[in-house]
Amino acid sequence: MPTPRAKSSSKRPLWIMILISMVCLSLILVHLNPPEYSPCYLLWSKFCNRLDYWPPPVPARVRTDEELSAKVIIDDILSMQISPPKNPKIAFMFLTPGALPFEKLWEKFFLGHEDRFSVYVHASREKKIRVSSFFIGRDVRSKMVYWGQISMIDAEKRLLATALQDAGNQHFVLLSESCVPLHNFDYTYNYLMGSNISYVDCFEDPGPHGMGRYSENMLPEIVSKDWRKGSQWFSIKRKHALILLSDSLYYNKFKFFCRPHMDGDKNCYSDEHYLPTLLSMFDPTGIANWSITHVDWSEGKWHPKSYRAEDATFELLKYIGSIDGSYHVTSGAKQVVLQKPCMWNGTKRPCYLFARKFRAEALDNLMNIFSNFTIF
């Protein structure tokens, strides 16, 4: 049977030649395209580690014109040395559908400190008659605000734009109609003015209510690792307020790609992501990562606990005012509690200056408790 043997022996050199030429071809390919196709695919990783020039550095993405402009402006604002005015003030900015049930309580808080604060009110649904002299005539031009939509950020920017016109305002606090103070004015003023950071809530939530809201439409400017979450109730320095008003690039990303009812059932709320994401991208050490406004989410519902008249006790306010650790809970099946001490200018201190949500019916009790503000 010589025929098959002769056949197979005549084929062997052909197979060897094909094999050799394939190896040569792949070596040539690797040689021609070294950066994209690392030879580590072809070698043992043990040997690969010795090739210390692999893998090649990923080239930095070239910024778009808009990104470059935004970066230059933001970096310049951050490095500005703002010489503080003679009487630096805190701007208290109230965001409300209309009513301000605790005007009388705030009046008690403000009384005697007239040269150190200013008040602004954004009533998004209806203008109400104000009763306290500190609030009369302080309504700013306002527009409708829809829950969870970009109109919330627009209202915040409207308040900031009005408050920034007063050069005396150095710190800007956003409050709602259901917020109450936890300490007296001097304590609050020294806390905010004595530290050089903004109190913006900010954490990483890998769950559905955090990363789950990120959209790839945010690319290339906002990558997923920069995505942050936090409560909207901010308290910020003048430079951060200027950054928010100067930004349209990142704002527009949120306006178009972080909305309720996006892509069917996906919900994103700009007021919980825009500020923490933007400020942690550009000035991570300039924000405290917690909000100075306390709210109780412990009931685990869609809305935080709201305090009735009988809940508003001296003990409750003292307790909230003494909490000295911030904590965040990630969303989803695997809830992780993230806890951190509240550090103020290098020392551990209570975290909160304000608290929500108090119902209007709690006013009388609160007025009684705060009748002697000196103990707070």
Contact residues toward ligand NAG (CB under 6 A) are 194, 196-197, 280, 284-289, 345-346, 372, 374-375
Question: What's the closest the beta carbon of residue 237 comes to ligand NAG, in angstroms?
Answer: 9
Question: What's the closest the beta carbon of residue 37 comes to ligand NAG, in angstroms?
Answer: 35
Report cis status (omega within 30 of 0) of the bond before 220: yes
Question: What's the closest the beta carbon of residue 348 comes to ligand NAG, in angstroms?
Answer: 12
Closer residue to ligand NAG, CB minimum distance, 142 or 198: 198
Q: Which of 41, 1, 288, 274 lies closest to 157 in space, CA to CA?
A: 274
Question: What's the closest the beta carbon of residue 160 comes to ligand NAG, in angstroms?
Answer: 20
Closer residue to ligand NAG, CB minimum distance, 8 or 372: 372
Closer residue to ligand NAG, CB minimum distance, 230 or 271: 230
- Give the H/E segment covering residue 71: helix 65-79
How many C-beta neighbours within 10 Å does residue 332 have?
A: 14
Closest-CB residue for ligand NAG?
Answer: 194
CA 123 to chain centre: 24
Is residue 160 within 8 A of residue 93, CB to CB? The reply is yes
| 3-class secondary-structure state, position 247 | coil
In the chain, % helix, strand, coil (3-state, to 5) comes to: 40, 15, 40
233 residue type, one letter: W
Closer residue to ligand NAG, CB minimum distance, 130 or 328: 328
Closer residue to ligand NAG, CB minimum distance, 197 or 295: 197
Question: What's the closest the beta carbon of residue 284 comes to ligand NAG, in angstroms?
Answer: 4
Closer residue to ligand NAG, CB minimum distance, 262 or 329: 329
Question: What's the closest the beta carbon of residue 174 comes to ligand NAG, in angstroms?
Answer: 19
| 3-class secondary-structure state, position 14 | helix
Is residue 244 within 8 A of residue 286, CB to CB? The reply is no
Closer residue to ligand NAG, CB minimum distance, 45 or 285: 285
Q: Dihedral of the CA atoms 283, 284, 285, 286 (nearest 10)?
A: 50
CA 345 to CA 190: how far, in whole Å? 12
Question: What's the closest the beta carbon of residue 80 comes to ligand NAG, in angstroms?
Answer: 12
